[in-house]
Chains A and B, each alone.
Chain A
Amino acid sequence: LAKTTQPISMDSYEGQEVNITCSHNNIATNDYITWYQQFPSQGPRFIIQGYKTKVTNEVASLFIPADRKSSTLSLPRVSLSDTAVYYCLVWTGGGNKLTFGTGTQLKVEL
């Protein structure tokens, strides 16, 4: 199972770009990288998923280098409402078990 490592917490200010990096050194060939967001007392919410290179949607961008041993979630121009826990997950193909790590608590201030 690919283990993920990400910072426990990050602080930022409104309007700034935030980059959260996740390490997954033993990622397997078939694994996808997925990021979720969780607000207090709510279920996690899917942000973005990628396999390699760069993926962008209306919320975020995901950068994955060629070796795929890490990935970076980029949130452009964060606001107070982006304060949440962000989870990096790697799914090991062939199973049906998506495991959450400890996540990164992002705090956005004025």
Chain B
Amino acid sequence: EPEVTQTPSHQVTQMGQEVILRCVPISNHLYFYWYRQILGQKVEFLVSFYNNEISEKSEIFDDQFSVERPDGSNFTLKIRSTKLEDSAMYFCASSVLQGGTGELFFGEGSRLTVL
């Protein structure tokens, strides 16, 4: 069964460093998403991406964050100048259909720890 894969599974970084989280969505999917989940809290929407541009973003997704689909298969989330409060699990997801009309397939997540 096709799946969304994310790397790294766990990254530890120093505050102020830049981090890139990588995702390989399912190959025929057109819509891509990043979510995050701080330990013990709910899953929070960050951004959705379609046709090589951002289609929706939350108030969390400020100038510190950026997304890119550099080569037609990878979908990356860059976090510039990480802060302690960026420590969380970051989930990538993809879907064939827009938003909630179909199933979002989530990856296993990348745990980011900022020290």
| Chain A residues proximal to chain B, CB less than 8 Å | 31-32, 34, 36, 38, 41-46, 49, 87, 89-93, 95-103
- CB proximity of B69 to chain A, nearest CB, Å: 15
Q: Which 10 residue pairs across A and B have the least CB separation, nearest first?
A: A91-B100, A43-B106, A97-B56, A46-B103, A100-B43, A96-B48, A96-B55, A96-B99, A43-B91, A96-B56
| B48 neighbours in A (Cβ, 8 Å) | 96-97
Main secondary structure of the interface of A (DSSP, over half): loop
CA distance A93 to B100 in the complex (A): 8
16 further interface pairs, Cβ-Cβ under 8 Å (given A43-B91, A98-B45): A36-B104, A38-B43, A43-B109, A44-B104, A45-B106, A46-B103, A46-B104, A92-B100, A93-B99, A96-B31, A96-B50, A96-B56, A99-B45, A100-B45, A102-B42, A103-B42
| Chain B residues proximal to chain A, CB less than 8 Å | 4, 31, 33, 35, 42-45, 48, 50, 55-56, 58, 89, 91, 93, 98-109, 111
Q: A44-B43, A98-B45, A101-B42 are in contact. Are A91 and B108 (CB under 8 A)?
A: no
Residue in B43, B98, B109 whose Cβ sees the most chain A Cβ within 10 Å = B43
CA distance A93 to B105 in the complex (A): 19
Nearest-CB residue, chain B, relative to A34: B100
| B108 neighbours in A (Cβ, 8 Å) | 42-43
